[in-house]
Amino acid sequence: MSLVNSSKSQFSFIKKENQDDLAITINNSSKEARTLSLAVRDADTGNRLPATINGEYLADEVQIPPETLRVLLIDVSHAGRQVVVEFTRNSSGSC
């Protein structure tokens, strides 16, 4: 029997006046790669915002190699006042 566990974290950021982008550092200090599901949205409209991780456009799921840092860069130029970033980390195990 296999189990799938997930943990979800949601962060909200206030956009400063005339701010065009928001950079968030993702740190995987683990000795194992981590797979994350990411959702980046305008809090007011719910619309997805364009984002990249280390220069590559954000997919729904991202793998972060072990013991590395990655930069999530979000285009907030057309966002309202608040941006929401939701991380979901899935891990599976067996019993």
**Contact 85/39 with Cβ under 8 angstroms?**
yes
Number of domains in the chain: 1
Whether 30 is in a domain gets the answer: yes
Whether 72 is in a domain gets the answer: yes
32 lies in which domain range? Answer: 2-90
- What is the rounded average pLDDT of the residues 46-73? 93
Q: Cβ contacts of residue 41 below 8 Å, gap of 6+?
A: 47, 48, 49, 83, 84, 86
- Give whole-number Cα distances, 50 to 9, 29, 59, 79, 93, in Å: 20, 26, 10, 10, 33
How much of the chain, in percent, has pLDDT values that exceed 90?
A: 76
Whether 95 is in a domain gets the answer: no
| pLDDT above 90 for 6 | no
- What is the rounded average pLDDT of the residues 37-42? 94
| pLDDT above 70 for 34 | yes
